[in-house]
């Protein structure tokens, strides 16, 4: 956790401590009119839930946080009916937390408030509860808490929108730079190597007419090196290029191309939510290109299975094909895939699993 996160957590805990301390002081320390025993039980229950929410903080999943604050609000509303002195604090804390929850649907948030109102009227029917002495004070504090919660919600939504725009701008800048590098590689390196291969082919034709085996061998070796470098340059261009379509559409196109190029079945399965940022989609598509290239090279004629699975916390790419021989040591292709996976905070695994060779990359959503 960075310094800003630590300060935010400390401030949040301090605010919780102030609110909890005020409730404890009003109910159990300062002299006031006698609260019914049932009212004291309600206060203790609300404080217990509040303390749990304060300690766990954002480590608690949002639905459970929402349920906890809805419980504090409902108990606080019953405390209003019981005439509890600190009830405005409990109700206001619950209203503030519920209204400001940005990860909860608005209808659900609005539905919690009528539940609290019903709880208040139910508590008035209990003979031991005599009601609040000043309901307008409660309404005033609740209104203030609702306004502050609404402003907090809007502020959080605005910050998220700004952060999303900043991420999109950064993604666009990265994709633009990658496109520029790809163009430079294609226009300079690939063309130069292509020309060198042609020149070496011509030189090989000249040398082959002479009785000099050593020169011919060296020329052919140089030609093979240049051709290999040209293939690597083309692969680098493919890895750097951007894919404009959604990830599932891009993978479908890549799978179709791989199937037509090899004449062997390549099957794609897409499940779950696979919507990811552009940079992540490009990385996964580039990894798929490299993995499919490796299957053509090391397992020609074998069926290939490509899976894209989207979950709540991650999106996973899985490429699998049967092994046709002993596994080879990792080369530049695997190293490049791992490096690209690291760019988006992921790790890539590649190796034999049973009788198959499996490449898997799982990218967390956050």
Q: What is the pLDDT of residue 126?
A: 78
Look up residue 325 and give its two tokens: 């021989």
List helix spans (H) across the chain: 3-24, 37-56, 62-81, 87-99, 106-124, 135-184, 191-207, 213-240, 247-262, 278-298, 332-343
Q: Where are the domains of the chain?
A: 3-133, 243-366
What value, to the nearest 5°, has the Cα angle with vertex 51 and ends 22 and 53?
Answer: 125
Residue 236: pLDDT band by 50, 70, 90 thresholds? Answer: low
Contact assessment for residue 240 and residue 279, using Cβ atoms and an 8 Å cutoff: no
More confident residue, 262 or 177: 262
Q: What is the pLDDT of residue 34?
A: 62
Examine the pLDDT at 133 and tell me if it is beyond 60: no
Look up residue 360 and give its two tokens: 């898997």
The Cβ of residue 113 has, within 10 Å, a number of other Cβ atoms equal to 18
CATH of domain 243-366: 3.30.565.10
Look up residue 82 and give its two tokens: 């019981």
Q: pLDDT tens across 14-27, in order?
A: 888 888 888 888 88
CA distance 315 to 289: 17
**How many residues make up the chain in this entry?**
366
**Among 45-59, 141-155, 239-253, 261-275, the least confident range:** 239-253
Residue 359: pLDDT band by 50, 70, 90 thresholds? Answer: very high
């Amino acid at each position: 956790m960075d310094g800003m996160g630590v300060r935010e957590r400390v401030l949040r805990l301090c605010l919780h401590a102030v609110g909890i301390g005020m409730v404890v002081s009003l109910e159990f320390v300062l002299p006031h009119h006698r609260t019914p025993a049932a009212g004291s039980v309600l206060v203790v229950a609300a404080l217990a839930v509040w303390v749990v929410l304060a300690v766990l903080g954002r480590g608690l999943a949002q639905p459970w946080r929402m349920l906890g604050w809805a419980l504090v609000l409902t108990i606080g509303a019953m405390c209003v009916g019981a005439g509890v002195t600190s009830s405005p604090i409990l109700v206001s804390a619950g209203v503030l937390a519920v209204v400001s929850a940005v990860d909860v649907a608005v209808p659900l948030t609005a539905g919690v408030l009528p539940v609290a109102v019903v709880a208040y009227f139910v508590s008035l029917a209990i003979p031991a509860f005599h009601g609040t002495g000043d309901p307008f004070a409660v309404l005033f504090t609740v209104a203030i808490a609702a306004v502050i919660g609404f402003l907090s919600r809007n502020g959080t939504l605005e910050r998220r929108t700004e952060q999303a725009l900043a991420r999109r701008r950064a993604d666009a800048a990265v994709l633009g730079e990658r496109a520029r590098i790809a163009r430079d590689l294609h226009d300079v390196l690939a063309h130069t190597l292509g020309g060198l291969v042609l020149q070496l082919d011509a030189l090989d034709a000249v040398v082959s007419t002479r009785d000099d085996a050593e020169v011919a061998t060296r020329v052919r070796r140089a030609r093979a090196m240049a051709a290999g470098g040209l293939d690597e340059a083309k692969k680098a261009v493919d890895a750097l290029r951007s894919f404009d379509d959604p990830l599932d559409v891009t993978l479908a196109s890549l799978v179709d191309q791989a199937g037509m190029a090899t004449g062997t079945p390549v099957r794609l399965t897409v499940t779950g939510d696979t919507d990811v940022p552009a940079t992540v989609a490009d990385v996964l598509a580039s990894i798929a290109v490299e993995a499919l290239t490796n299957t053509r090279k090391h397992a020609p004629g074998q069926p290939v299975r490509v899976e894209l699975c989207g979950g709540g916390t991650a999106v996973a790419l899985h490429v699998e094909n049967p092994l046709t021989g002993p596994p080879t040591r990792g080369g530049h292709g695997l190293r490049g895939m791992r490096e690209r996976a690291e760019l988006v905070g992921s790790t890539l695994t590649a190796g034999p699993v049973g009788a198959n060779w499996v490449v898997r990359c799982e990218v967390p959503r956050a």
